[in-house]
Amino acid sequence: MKRLLLFAMVCASISFVSAQRKFDKVSKVTSSEIRWWGYKVVKTEASSHSGTIKLKSGKFNFDHTVLVDGEFIIDMRSMMAGDVSDEDQIKLTNDLKSTNFFEVKKFPVAKFHLTKIIPLANSEYNSTVYGDLTLKGVRKTITFPANVYVTQFTTVIESAKFSLNRRDFKVFYQSSLKDYFIKNEMDIQFKVSTEKLDNENRVPAKKK
């Protein structure tokens, strides 16, 4: 009985220590900009539609001065078409938010967990970013090029325009021929920062 009680106390202690584990520094995102592009196969223009979406919250976690990971919540209800006006803008925006595409009532937020940054040499972008994107309840690991700058606890990430396959996240018309006129690739480009840095104070991220 004493051994069983001792074992239970040890387990409880381990659980308490794990629950209390905190990062040395949490740096919150103070500025963000996210743009999206969607394409139709029947149009001659390169970009069929484009628009914006807002970041609800974001943070970077540090172990001492080493960036460990990042967590970002995207407000899907803020999605807006920006290349059309008036009634067409309202119609397209509502269609994107409906069950035809992103189902924002059921899935009001998307999440991105940044897991790793690998520096690149001799490239237009200084890093490759790895992370897990959860959209419409589907989680996929994605990678994309970006310029990443970390100075102490200040972080800036400026991504390249990169593609996602909307079908990987169940973003498509249900049983409709309309879906065949839309390309599967949708493009995303974003910039997030914890504080604005001038060019002289930007330091590329180091490999963990």
Boundaries of every domain in the chain: 25-197
Cα–Cα distance measured from residue 52 to residue 135, given in angstroms and rounded to the nearest whole number: 16
Q: Which pLDDT value is given to residue 110? A: 98
Q: Which pLDDT value is given to residue 198? A: 64
Neighbours of 83 (CB within 10 A): 15
What dotted CATH number matches 25-197? Answer: 2.40.128.110
Q: Which two tokens stand for residue 50?
A: 């484009």
Q: Which pLDDT value is given to residue 5? A: 41
Q: Does residue 159 contact residue 146 with C-beta atoms inside 8 Å?
A: yes
Q: Which pLDDT value is given to residue 17? A: 34
Rg of the chain, C-alpha, whole Å: 21
34: β partners: 53, 190
Cα–Cα distance measured from residue 50 to residue 44, given in angstroms and rounded to the nearest whole number: 15
187: β partners: 37, 163
Q: Which pLDDT value is given to residue 128? A: 97
Q: Which pLDDT value is given to residue 27? A: 93
* Residue ranges in the chain modelled with pLDDT below 70: 1-23, 42-47, 174-180, 196-208
Q: Which pLDDT value is given to residue 93? A: 92
Q: Which pLDDT value is given to residue 175? A: 58
- Name residues whose C-beta falls within 8 Å of residue 9's C-beta, 6 or more positions apart in sequence: none
Supply φ then ψ for residue 151, to 5 degrees.
-125, 110
Q: Which pLDDT value is given to residue 180? A: 64
Neighbours of 193 (CB within 10 A): 19
Q: Does residue 78 contact residue 101 with C-beta atoms inside 8 Å?
A: no
Q: Which pLDDT value is given to residue 202? A: 65
The DSSP output letter for 3 is: H
